[in-house]
A and B are shown apart, each in its own frame.
Chain A
Amino acid sequence: MIEVKNISKRYGEFSAVTNVTFSAKKGDIVGFLGPNGAGKTSTIRMLATYTPPSAGTAIVAGYDVIAQPDEVRKRIGYLPENPPLYPEMTVKEYLKFVGQIKGVRSSELNSKVESTMKRCFIDDVAGKLCSTLSRGYRQRVGIAQAIIHDPDVIILDEPTSGLDPKQIIEIRRLIKSLGDNHTVILSTHILPEVSMVCNKVVIIHRGSVVLEKPLAELVKERSLEETFIGAVSSEGAVQAELVAAPESESGANAS
């Protein structure tokens, strides 16, 4: 479903992402982990065809993001860091509009809007203006917007940031249910989220992937926290090499 090979993103002199490589198959929920400023959003924006990579290739939902971005766009749902809501539209109007531009058939549009609202637990605010929604609802409308056209790949950029514990649990449950028939990429810097929701972990640090492993395999060796701290400590790249080896204790202590 997703094949990312050596993609890089440069903004002038500054290199935000260098040679990132990872992959995900259908049904995977990939936790895309990294400290703030590691290049998560830059990578995700390239996968979502918002900006093209400066180098490398990325195949998303079977199509190349550079050569056939429009084919990719038909098959992805994307929630940016800030939910892209129109304050002056009601939730229902907004989802209808998004359904239209994402290519949902007119005959199915109404039923899709209804079922998506139910699925994301936002049917009780259907008639409310987006500007009056609380942070938790905004985030859920953002997710609804990303799944309304039943995309193959769902890309979520920090979907639980700024939510209260109850909302976080609801959203995690929702994301987990998405994994049944979609591929999900979930960027976050909250570790428990990954261990609860994802089945695969990709850790990025200073623009490079320092670790890519199935979660089950990873937590067999040691906890996700230790692995993460080890991978992103000052000698991140080196530490990542050592993750498999037992003497990487020093990395965990460096916190």
Chain B
Amino acid sequence: MRNIVAIAKRELLSLFVSPVAYFVLGGFVIIGAFFFFLILAAYNSYVVQAAQMPWAGSQIPSLNQFVVEQYFSTMLVVLVFLIPILTMRTIAEERRLGTFELLITSPVSILELVVGKFLGVGTLITAMVLLASIFPLSLPLILDLEIAPLISGIGGVILFALGLASVGIAASSYTENQIVAAASSMVILLLLYVIQAPAEQGTNEFVSTLFRSLSPQAQVIDLLKGVLSLKSVFYFFSLITLGIFLSVRSLESFRYR
């Protein structure tokens, strides 16, 4: 446990020493602010229009549906591109610097190493999502909004981001080159993201079920809607476990070379 904390702390420290963390964190919040404003403006004009046509009044979507859900699902796409940038260096950089040799000859297990890395990056990512959640969280102060779905939405985005991070760390453990790590995890995450479209269209029952159960995008939707789906939570925990497992496997192969 002590080893995990030491590694996680070191990881956070080196993230914050490099400009990358600030760029990604700042960028995420600014992009968030931009989209939040756009969505809010769209909602406003929608409500104004709807007020002029009272006969359609029953169909006005709630603030939760229109703003919060849309805002979070937009931010998911941004995460697909930003998380590989945060995770690319985690293990690839250790291998390039030779510090991996120090870690692997220390009394630290590979699982502790990978979990430490995950917690380090995960802390930054969680902070990043929470910062960008300030915008929807400020809504209940001035407007009528349901809090519970908002909280489950934030939780969903954090789980989604952590799931992606574990895939990114796994990609980083297979190479010494950060660019390769970033590119490969971005491709994998994009693929996982786009298979949601055929899953929704559902031309083929089997294919759409398969894709829906693979795509983190499809899994997080329930949580964004405020449905506390255990299946989705279970999916993200499995994804995180799988990412950590693959990283451990990749690094353990060093001990058999």
Contact A101 B6, beta carbon cutoff 8 Å: yes
In the bound complex, CA of A74 to CA of B106 (Å): 7
Contact A73 B6, beta carbon cutoff 8 Å: no
Q: How far is the CB of A167 from chain B (nearest CB, A)?
A: 20
Contact of B97 among A49, A84, A93 (CB under 8 A): A84
Contact of B98 among A48, A76, A82 (CB under 8 A): A82
User: Does B210 lie at the interface of the complex (its beta carbon under 8 Å from any beta carbon of A)?
Assistant: no
User: Does A36 lie at the interface of the complex (its beta carbon under 8 Å from any beta carbon of B)?
Assistant: no
Closest partner residue, chain B, to A71 (CB atom)? B107
Chain B contacts for A103, CB-based, 8 A = 107
Chain B contacts for A11, CB-based, 8 A = 257
Contact B10 A89, beta carbon cutoff 8 Å: yes
Q: Mark A66-107, 1 if CB is under 8 A from B, else 0.
A: 000110011010101011111111000100011011110000
Chain A contacts for B98, CB-based, 8 A = 80, 82-84
Chain A contacts for B108, CB-based, 8 A = 101
User: Does A51 lie at the interface of the complex (its beta carbon under 8 Å from any beta carbon of B)?
Assistant: yes
Contact A52 B13, beta carbon cutoff 8 Å: no
User: Does B14 lie at the interface of the complex (its beta carbon under 8 Å from any beta carbon of A)?
Assistant: yes
Chain A contacts for B2, CB-based, 8 A = 100
Q: How far is the CB of B30 from chain A (nearest CB, A)?
A: 25
Chain B contacts for A70, CB-based, 8 A = 107, 109
User: Does B56 lie at the interface of the complex (its beta carbon under 8 Å from any beta carbon of A)?
Assistant: no
User: Does B148 lie at the interface of the complex (its beta carbon under 8 Å from any beta carbon of A)?
Assistant: no
Chain A contacts for B104, CB-based, 8 A = 49-50
Contact B255 A51, beta carbon cutoff 8 Å: yes
Beyond A82-B98, A97-B6, A100-B2, is A49–B13 a contact (Cβ under 8 Å)? no
What is the total of A-B residue contacts with beta carbons within 8 Å?
69
User: Does B17 lie at the interface of the complex (its beta carbon under 8 Å from any beta carbon of A)?
Assistant: yes
Q: Which DSSP category, helix, strand, loop or mixed, fits chain A's interface?
A: loop
From A51, A87, A101, residue with most partner B Cβ within 10 Å? A101
User: Does B34 lie at the interface of the complex (its beta carbon under 8 Å from any beta carbon of A)?
Assistant: no
User: Does B49 lie at the interface of the complex (its beta carbon under 8 Å from any beta carbon of A)?
Assistant: no
Q: How far is the CB of A151 from chain B (nearest CB, A)?
A: 11
Closest partner residue, chain A, to B108 (CB atom)? A101
Quick one: which of A1-60 are within 8 Å of B by CB? 11, 48-52
Closest partner residue, chain A, to B18 (CB atom)? A88
Closest partner residue, chain B, to A51 (CB atom)? B257
In the bound complex, CA of A84 to CA of B107 (Å): 16
Chain B contacts for A101, CB-based, 8 A = 3, 6-7, 103, 106-108
Contact B105 A78, beta carbon cutoff 8 Å: yes
Contact of B105 among A50, A52, A86 (CB under 8 A): A50
User: Does A145 lie at the interface of the complex (its beta carbon under 8 Å from any beta carbon of B)?
Assistant: yes
Q: How far is the CB of A142 from chain B (nearest CB, A)?
A: 9
Q: How far is the CB of B113 from chain A (nearest CB, A)?
A: 9
In the bound complex, CA of A83 to CA of B105 (Å): 13
Contact A86 B257, beta carbon cutoff 8 Å: no
In the bound complex, CA of A84 to CA of B109 (Å): 18
Q: Mark B96-124, 1 if CB is under 8 A from A, else 0.
A: 01111111111111000000000000000
In the bound complex, CA of A11 to CA of B6 (Å): 34
10 closest A-B pairs by CB: A84-B102, A100-B6, A88-B17, A84-B99, A73-B107, A74-B107, A101-B106, A80-B101, A48-B105, A82-B98
Binding site for B on A (CB under 8 A): 11, 48-52, 69-70, 73-74, 76, 78, 80, 82-89, 93, 97-98, 100-103, 145
- What are 26 inter-chain pairs, A to B, with CB distance below 8 A? A11-B257, A49-B104, A52-B255, A70-B107, A73-B106, A74-B107, A76-B105, A78-B101, A78-B105, A80-B101, A80-B102, A84-B97, A84-B99, A84-B100, A85-B97, A86-B14, A86-B97, A86-B99, A97-B10, A98-B102, A98-B106, A100-B3, A100-B6, A101-B103, A101-B107, A101-B108
Beyond A78-B105, A102-B106, 4 extra complex contacts between A and B, CB < 8 Å? A51-B254, A51-B255, A78-B102, A84-B101
